[in-house]
Amino acid sequence: FFDLVLALIFLVLFFPLLLAVAYGVRRSSSGPVIYSQPRAGQDGRVFEFYKFRSMFQDSDEVLSSFLDSDPDARSQWTTYQKLENDPRITPFGKFIRRTSLDELPQLWNVLKGDMSIVGPRPCLLSQQALYGRHWSNYCAVKPGLTGLWQVSGRNRLTYAQRVRLDVQYIRD
């Protein structure tokens, strides 16, 4: 109930901001405004995860080529599952990621019941192996818009540290 009420309030309050960000995404590069991707949720159920698109449309090919040509980037990707200077991200995408405005469409995920306001961040299906024996812990709760990992260091933490924080949040 708390999640639904809060998500509705945020959607109403942020509606003008949602429109402004959608306009910015549309103007900055070609492609859809909203990006969706399958993610793992509670009980391992797969759901469509929504964000404002912050990357160029051919991002998978760009990432693959970039990682093949740069061993340091490959190492950074393996450790963090992120890149400090990601060539896939549009200039406007950098802004909405830095301010977390790209996350606003996830309020719809909360309304649909796929996510909660607070919980471990939804992970890619390919990241299940990175949780190892802790996967069942991750699947015990709904993923959230924000969680312990995000407020504890976010991009400065390794993926292994993210897993540890997710498990700590779930257990505590």
Q: Could you read off the pLDDT of 60-91 as tens digits, one per residue?
A: 787 888 888 888 888 988 888 788 888 888 99
Q: Give the residue-averaged pLDDT of 105-118.
A: 97
Q: Give the residue-averaged pLDDT of 136-153.
A: 89
pTM recorded for the entire structure: 0.84
| Residues 121/66/25/116 CA torsion (nearest 10 deg) | -10
Mean pLDDT of the chain: 91
The pLDDT value recorded for residue 77 is: 83
The pLDDT value recorded for residue 70 is: 87
The pLDDT value recorded for residue 99 is: 94
**CA separation (Å) from 135 to 82, 131, 166, 167, 170?**
20, 5, 10, 9, 11
Q: Are 36 and 63 in contact (CB under 8 A)?
A: no
| pLDDT over threshold 80, residue 137 | yes
